Structure 1
Amino acid sequence: MIEKEVIKKKLKEFEIMEYIENVVDKPGYGFTEIQRTPLGEKVTIHTSKPGLVVGRKGASIRELTEILKSKFNFENPQIEVSEITDPNLNPHSVAKYITHTFQRFGPGRFKFLGYKLLDDIMKSGAVGAEIVLSGRGIPSTRAKSWRFSAGHLKKSGDISENHMRRGFAIAHLKSGAIGVKVSILTPDIKLPDDIDIYEPEVAVEEVTEQLPPEEVVKEIKEKIKEEPEVEKVPKSKEKKELKKTTEDIPKKESKKPKKEEKVPTAKELAKKKEIKDGNNKKE
């Protein structure tokens, strides 16, 4: 039956993905994808820290290819490591980060961790997010579940089933196991109730009254008549130059006519002689 073969393939893929997850269980690990190609099987490992997955000079990748050939009968496995640009929007990496912190420091400060990661997810641009922690130590010895949520999150419908990103991880502690579920509604998903309203653009045109040419000429003439003529006052430099030029020019001689000297008559000359002779006799 075709259905049984499909189920077998999917179960085998799940086993391979689970094995790779256990082998490459390091901080920053996201998820694994398997694709069948004509050349062989293509395995892509998504992680925010590709250097930890690749290892020194690609040693861990070489070991993983040999294990896939021997254990899972892969003919030509091609392993690629893809870097996650924004780990806060990847639910698998967020869930793995929570499990690693629980394994290192315990679940004592689970509230601080949950609210901090929610804040980071919403700052990255997510529409909504939810983190659910369940198990012993949350918050007491009895097994309970604690939910952290923020933003707008769909619980049913096409968006919830096909477009919501979900991640799951388990932290194995001495006290017991703690399950971590992370759901994120990324900003690239457009909701059906999102409506964009565009305001119509109104073009405003300036209207200017155009007068006939005869009236324009009349207005210009009236303005010229109204404006008084103002004599140009020479500037300070021009005044100095004018003074210099006036000093250099010689003064013109006065054109007033000189008084003509009167010629004395014979009687006047005789009287002058008599006066002189009288003065000499007295002496």
Structure 2
Amino acid sequence: MEERKTVKLKKDEFAIKEYIKKFVGKGKLSKVKTEYTPVGEKIIISTHKPGLLIGRGGEKILELTNILKKQFKLENPHIEIVEITQPEFDAQIMTDEIAQSLERLGPIKFKSITYKILERIMKAGARGTEIRLSGKLPGARAKTWRFAQGQLKKVGDSAKVVDRAQARAETRPGTVGIKVAILSPHAILKDEITISEELLKKLKERVKQFK
């Protein structure tokens, strides 16, 4: 019984997430999380454009709250907005931007579109980035193109701090799959050793003594 209830909750959460994405518009939000509290449901939306979601005088939030009540049978939904101040480190936002550019400009410019996003992410200070495109891409013998720069952990505990996302671009020649992985400069790596400036200074002084 508990297992069925859990499955239903997960299905409902996914349906709510997909609806909010359509309501807000592609490329305007990153994550949607649902938390259940004694007083109702908390819908946490992460976005780099909170103004578009809130609307003038909060009208958009009010409209979305009413829809969630009626369409998804939520008793007392409360929407919380989390602003993303550095969208370059958010894999979902960057993935959606690539998808939108491919749909608008066409897949013939996939290299310039991807390199532009890659450069933007790295210039913002990311430690590493990997972008993969697969599908109907012109002039591509291989089905998948990989664009990467910097350091990116792929295995072990350190790989868990890499932000990953995927999306699809519906272009005239066909569907293009997009995957983005970003290692933020704020990520804490368990296998990383940091030496303080003070300790480094002491070590240099000791080396001088032995010379």
Whether TM-score is above 0.5 comes out as yes
CA contact (8 A) 1:28 1:97 kept: no
Q: Distance in 2 between matches of 1:141 and 1:92?
A: 25
1:126 match: 126
Instruction: Give 1:107 shift.
Output: 1.8
1:93 match: 93
CA contact (8 A) 1:128 1:151 kept: yes
Q: Distance in 1 between matches of 2:69 and 2:190?
A: 46
C-alpha change, 1:117 and 1:101, in structure 2 (3 Å) is same
1:167 match: 165
CA contact (8 A) 2:157 2:190 kept: no
Equivalent pairs: percent with the same residue?
45
2:209 match: none
1:118-138 CA-to-partner distances (Å, cap 9, x unmatched) read 1111122211111111121x2
- Report the count of equivalent residues: 201
TM-score, L = length of structure 2: 0.85
1:17-41 CA-to-partner distances (Å, cap 9, x unmatched) read 1111122114432221211122211
Q: Looking at secondary structure, tell me which structure has more strand per residue.
A: 2
Q: Distance in 2 between matches of 1:9 and 1:92?
A: 23
Name the stretch that deviates more: 25-34 or 145-154.
25-34
SS of structure 1 residue aligned to 2:108 = coil
1:262 match: none
Instruction: Give 1:140 shift.
Output: 4.2
Unpaired runs of 5+ in structure 1?
Answer: 204-283
CA contact (8 A) 1:135 1:176 kept: yes
Query: In structure 1, what residue type is equivalent to 2:97?
Result: Y
C-alpha change, 1:107 and 1:71, in structure 2 (3 Å) is same
1:186-206 CA-to-partner distances (Å, cap 9, x unmatched) read 122233442233232769xxx
Runs of 4+ in structure 1 deviating by more than 4 angstroms, as ranges, are: 140-143
Instruction: Give 1:141 shift.
Output: 8.5
Q: Distance in 1 between matches of 2:177 and 2:158?
A: 24
TM-score, L = length of structure 1: 0.65
2:70 match: 70
C-alpha change, 1:56 and 1:107, in structure 2 (3 Å) is farther
Is 2:180 the counterpart of 1:182?
A: yes
CA contact (8 A) 2:107 2:171 kept: no
1:164-199 CA-to-partner distances (Å, cap 9, x unmatched) read 211111222333222211111112223344223323
Instruction: Give 1:56 shift.
Output: 3.3
C-alpha change, 1:133 and 1:39, in structure 2 (3 Å) is same
Q: Which protein shows a greater Rg?
A: 1
